[in-house]
Amino acid sequence: MLIIPAIDIKEGKCVRLTRGDFTQKKIYLDNPCDMAIIWRKQNAKMLHVVDLDAALTGEMVNFDRIRDIVNVLDIPIQVGGGIRSVAAVEKYLEIGVSRVVIGSAAVTNPGLVADLLKKYRRSQIVVGIDAENGIPKIKGWTESSNMMDYELGLEMKKIGVERVIYTDITRDGTLEGVGYETTKRFAEKAGMKVTASGGVSSSEDLHKLRSLESLGVDSVIIGKALYECNFPCQEMWYAYEQGLGIDGEFSTARRKECCS
């Protein structure tokens, strides 16, 4: 199962939210590009980057920050957050982004997804379904849609979408465990390739998700659990970084040292 570290950008900084609540924001690094370098050093094969400001406004607020990440890394980058037009998709793909994630627009303007699939490869267009109790939320998770998560998945599948990033909002950023049952239900009903997201807290969660591979769940996005150093192997990685000790902490100072 492919593990994809997440980098969420708010006001130019690398942050994590809890259940998508913008009032529960924790800043991990001032420069998201430094964070991207850290995850690459720790052998990440892909990164998931979200422009949180764009998710609220629809404007590509952190475009320059994302371009910096793409330019400095040698691995695929998928980007989401407020992508609601062909022009926005084109702008991201032109700078070397590998996949764009369509979230709110998949609900409010499904024709956009259909148009994108006519212009670009299916591997380049991914739909993000962020659900709370089975109901997709849109516009930075501030509004609810009028359909179930699997109904949206099936609608997207019908127009040619192959992959969905499925996030259980009730778990996201909580470190309370992955939304196993909700992810399983969605995967069973939608029959698509699924990247799981939200709540992963430990290696046990990863083992649980692996049992869903036969249903199409082949990858997982991990955020806060990586930032809070919840995986034992992370201590090993830090040990090989010059000047870093194994003390169980992952402070901002250590992150900056790792990138220097």
Q: Is 70 exposed, middle or buried, given 0-12, 13-18 or 19+ CB atoms closer than 10 A?
A: buried
Annotated active-site residue in 130, 149, 168, 172: 130
* Structural tokens at position 36: 């991207």
Q: HSE of 143 in the Cβ direction (CA atoms, 13 Å)?
A: 11
What span, in angstroms and rounded, lies between the C-alpha atoms of 7 and 241? Answer: 21
First to last CA, the chain: 31
- Whether 8 is a known active-site residue: answer yes
Contact between residue 25 and residue 13 where contact means Cβ atoms under 8 Å apart: no
Spatial CB neighbours of 179, under 8 Å, sequence gap ≥ 6: 168, 170, 171, 196, 198, 199
Q: Where are the alpha helices (DSSP H) in the chain?
A: 32-41, 52-57, 63-72, 86-94, 104-108, 110-119, 149-158, 180-190, 203-210, 224-227, 232-239, 252-259
Spatial CB neighbours of 123, under 8 Å, sequence gap ≥ 6: 99, 162, 163
- Whether 34 is a known active-site residue: answer no
For the annotated catalytic residues, the residue numbers are: 8, 130
